[in-house]
Amino acid sequence: MSNLPYKIMTRLLNQLIILTLSTSNSLFAVNNKNEIKNVDNHTLSNYSQIRVSHVHLDLTVDFSQKELTGFAALSFEKQTETNTLVLDTKYLLIDRVEDQNEHKLDFNYLEADELLGTPLSIQLNDSCKRVKVFYKTTAKSEALDWLSSNQTAGKNFPFMYTQGQSIFTRSWIPIQDTPGIRVTYSADITVPDGMLAVMSASNPQQTNSSNRYHFEMKQSISPYLIALAVGELSFKSIDERTGVYAEPSMIESCSNELVDMGKMVDEAEKLYGQYDWDRYDVIVLPPSFPFGGMENPRLTFATPTIIAGDRSLVSLIAHELAHSWSGNLVTNATWNDFWLNEGFTVYFERRIMEALYGKDYTDMLALLGFQDLTSEISSLDEDMQKLKLKLNGLHPDDAMSDIAYEKGYFFLRMLEEKKGRAKMDSFLKNYFDDHKFQTITTEEFLAYLDQNLLQGKKDGLMINQWVYQSGLPANCPKVLSNRFVQAEKAVDVFLKKGVDNIVDAAADWSTHEWLHFIKHLPENINKHQLEKLDETFNLSLNGNAEILCVWFLISIKADYKPAFDPMKIFLTKIGRRKFLQPIYEELAKKPANKTWAKQVYEKARDNYHYVSFNTIDGILKD
């Protein structure tokens, strides 16, 4: 009993020591209101004490070793008195660190975290203005996908690209890898003969003989948006400020598919203000790209699965373009605020689509989104159904559900319906303008919303329920699509009268009606019925990846074997996680299918980016 005060004293003292030694943000954040709410728990850097403001990269792309080697020179601004700069790194080999006068600086690694990587702590001297970190990437660097020439369309050159979002930039650049900071950047990239490098920056349009390319990104962006792709690439203009990069054999079909890109930028500007990034180009990557699209500023990275031949999947470009405002100009401060990036972007995307292709068309897209949302809600944990997330200890990619996208969209659509389109549009335009080149939290947005759109009149809008609670509030807008009603009727006719009776109706269906039709086939449909559909419409060999994906899913459920060979080809070629994940999950439900899936995966895994194979490893493990 008598030594209790002593114990308490020692514990307090220990805590004080830990607190003083801690590199976390908390100590310095307390003095500054702005810092506290901006704490991102997916970075181990000390970005609230000292902030990287400019990055210069000098990297050589070595395809034989599959590594990037060189340096990152980082300029910074101190927020508080500190002589330590802590950067995020993951799977990087650091060779040395120098100041601007080429004097070596001491550095050491702090405790590694399996998810967040190994923080690199650099001792700064008083006159230090800039640090140069010499390093190379490793085989484990998660951002990087290295493709052999066999995995490209042209088969002559290898290919590589990076994927930064959400926390992968640290695996190819030592940096404060948080959306809570913004940096400008420049780069010099050396590549092998005959290859072109492009980045989320000012870009070359053709290869040069020096094999070295210079890049500038003068507008400030969050580090997850720094991106690089290197390959045998051609460029084709769409109009004066838009164009497409792709492998030479794909360039015609890609530019033909994306011919409306220029108009999309024009419409987007009419809606929410000037496009602030100069050019808008798209690069169509090889099929291993794990996402549909990635909004790297000035240069959207896209999957070749949008090249359907009939321009039916271009809403993806409208989406990535819309991120030039929501996401790239106004950026979520932490990954818990991810819906501010994606929900706004889906809303903006559908407004662009409506302006270009009409309301009927866009209602189909919104209704497909609504269906995805309700099915997602039925399977997600309650905590993950909220717009504002609490992702402590979780990988932010796990937040990539339809909640941020579609619940976010319907929240904004609800506001539009209640306040009127004109008010909503001027509110959004001002929102982008007032927050451009800044990061924003959910709470800051809600305060801004209250002041500028709601003027204190929040009654009946259920704002808190939308943002902080699970499920869908009762005032969620209803979407009706007459074209989908027709597709549902066709399901009935097919089931009652046979496939011949829907041939006429289906003749002018778009991709979206096909998706709705297949998704509306009853759960208990049998393989003979699928066979009839396949014989008539050749669905197993459809050229559209979205249609193939839902067709394969129903074929697995009904055990319709003729779809399995085409499915194998699909799974081996395409690395887009949105397609792979549901197919492998469905296959994993039956032991025989799971065995088959594992065999396919053994060969296919090498064609996937880390983002995808990490997910599929989880699905197929025993």
Cβ proximity to ligand BES, 217 vs 302, nearer residue: 302
Q: Bridge-partner residues for 185, per DSSP?
A: 55, 217
- Residue whose CB is less far from ligand BES, 131 or 143: 143
Q: Is 132 in the site for ligand BES (CB under 6 A)?
A: no
Q: For residues 520 and 485, what is the distance between their CA atoms, to the nearest angstrom?
A: 11
* Contact region with Zn ion (CB under 5 A), list: 299-307, 342-350, 454-462, 601-609: 342-350
Catalytic residue (one of 161, 224, 405, 409): 405
- Only one of the segments 172-180, 293-301, 350-358, 443-451 lies at the binding site for ligand BES (rule: CB under 6 A); that segment is 293-301
* Residue closer to Zn ion (CB basis): 223 or 231: 223
Choose which of 158, 286, 287, 293 interacts with ligand BES (CB under 6 A). Answer: 293
Long-range contacts of 495-498 (CB under 8 A, 24+ apart): 495/522, 495/529, 498/532
Under rule CB under 6 A, residue 384 binds ligand BES: no
CB of 579 to ligand BES, least distance (A): 9
The two three-digit tokens of residue 332, written as one number: 């979520």
- Residue 278's CB is within 10 A of a number of other CB atoms, namely 13
The distance from CA 214 to its chain's CA centroid, rounded to whole angstroms, is 26
Residue 434's CB is within 10 A of a number of other CB atoms, namely 12
Between 178 and 345, CB nearer to Zn ion = 345
Q: What residue has token string 């033909």?
A: 256
Work out which of 166, 312, 336, 540 binds ligand BES, going by CB under 6 A: 166
Cβ–Cβ under 8 Å, residues 484 and 367: yes
Q: Does 323 bind ligand BES (CB under 6 A)?
A: yes
Q: In this chain, which residue has its C-beta nearest to ligand BES?
A: 292
* Residue 400 touches ligand BES, criterion: CB under 6 A: yes
Closest distance of CB 174 from ligand BES, Å: 21
**Total of residues contacting ligand BES (CB under 6 A):** 16
Residue 518 in tokens: 């297949």
Residue pair 44/103 in contact (Cβ under 8 Å)? The answer is: no
Annotated catalytic residue within 35, 142, 320, 416? 320
Task: Confirm if 196 and 207 have CB atoms less than 8 A apart.
Answer: yes
Query: Do residues 79 and 28 touch, judged by C-beta distance below 8 A?
Result: yes
Q: Nearest Cα to 309, choosing from 576, 506, 546?
A: 546
Q: Which does 397 bind (CB under 5 to 8 A by kind): Zn ion, ligand BES, none?
A: ligand BES
The rounded radius of gyration (Å) of the Cα atoms in the chain is 25
Q: Does 260 contact ligand BES by CB under 6 A?
A: no
Q: Is 405 marked active-site? A: yes
Among candidate residues 356, 362, 350, 354, the one with its CA nearest the CA of residue 264? 356
- Which of 320, 337, 406, 444 is the binder for ligand BES (CB under 6 A)? 320
Q: Does residue 200 interact with ligand BES by CB under 6 A? A: no
Q: Which stretch binds Zn ion (CB under 5 A): 152-160, 211-219, 338-346, 591-599?
A: 338-346
The DSSP string of 237-304 is: ESSSSEEEEE-GGGHHHHHHHTTTHHHHHHHHHHHH---TTS-EEEEE--TT-SSSEE--TTEEEE-G
Taking the C-alpha atoms of residue 545 and residue 322, their distance in angstroms, rounded to an integer, is 23
- Draw the binding track, 337-356, toward ligand BES (x: CB under 6 A; -: no contact): -----x--------------
Residue whose pair of structure tokens reads 């983002």 in the numeric block: 611
End-to-end CA distance of the chain: 53
Q: Could you tell me where the DSSP H helices lie in 574-609?
A: 577-587, 591-604
Instruction: Choose among 171, 242, 259, 251: nearest CA to 203.
Output: 242
Closest CB 225 distance from ligand BES, rounded Å: 10
Give the one residue of 90, 298, 319, 407 binding ligand BES; rule: CB under 6 A. 319
Residues 440 and 459: their CA atoms lie apart, in Å, by 25
Choice from 94, 189, 294, 367 touching ligand BES (CB under 6 A):
294
Tell me the window of 88-96, 318-326, 352-360, 612-620 that interacts with ligand BES (CB under 6 A): 318-326
Cβ closest to Zn ion, residue 97 vs residue 333: 333
Secondary structure letter of residue 82 according to DSSP: -
Q: Which of residues 540-579 bind ligand BES (CB under 6 A)?
A: 578
- H or E stretch at 121: strand 120-123
Of positions 397, 402, 444, 513, contacts ligand BES by CB under 6 A: 397
CB nearer to ligand BES: pick between 133 and 368: 368
Q: Is 266 among the residues that bind ligand BES (CB under 6 A)?
A: no
- Interface region with ligand BES, contact rule CB under 6 A, candidates 183-191, 238-246, 316-324, 473-481: 316-324
What does the alpha-carbon distance between residue 89 and residue 68 come to, in Å, rounded to a whole number? 14
Assign 146 to helix, strand or coil. strand
With CB under 6 A as the contact rule, the residue among 74, 217, 268, 316 that binds ligand BES is 316
Query: How far apart are CB 87 and ligand BES at their closest, in Å?
Result: 21
- Which partner, Zn ion, ligand BES, none, binds residue 578 by CB below 5 to 8 Å per kind? ligand BES
Residues that bind Zn ion (CB under 5 A): 342, 345
Instruction: Return the active site residues.
Output: 320, 405
Residues that bind ligand BES (CB under 6 A): 165-166, 291-295, 316, 319-320, 323, 342, 397, 400, 405, 578
